[in-house]
């Protein structure tokens, strides 16, 4: 039973770490996009441009 509980705790910690990493990455990318888009305010907004860049950069 202890191994099972330890495995669940490890899994929960891994999920929290991954969620934190993804939120941080999204925020960093969002901040970068805000700087990129300031000069071109007249163009139409692209809500998922940061996601598209993230996918194509891998």
pLDDT tens column, 14-26? 999 999 999 999 8
Looking at residue 39, its pLDDT comes to 52
Looking at residue 52, its pLDDT comes to 82
Minimal CA–CA distance to 46: which of 33, 27, 56?
33
Minimal CA–CA distance to 34: which of 21, 23, 15, 50?
50
Looking at residue 43, its pLDDT comes to 56
Looking at residue 58, its pLDDT comes to 67
25-54 confidence digits (pLDDT tens): 988 888 877 766 655 545 556 777 878 888
Length of the chain: 58
Band (pLDDT 50/70/90 cuts) for residue 55 is confident
């Amino acid at each position: 039973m202890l191994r099972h509980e330890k495995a669940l705790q490890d899994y929960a910690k891994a999920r929290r770490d991954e969620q934190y990493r993804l939120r941080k990455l999204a925020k960093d990318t969002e901040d970068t996009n805000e700087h990129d888009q300031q000069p071109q305010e007249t163009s139409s907004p692209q809500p998922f441009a940061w996601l598209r860049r993230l996918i194509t950069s891998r």
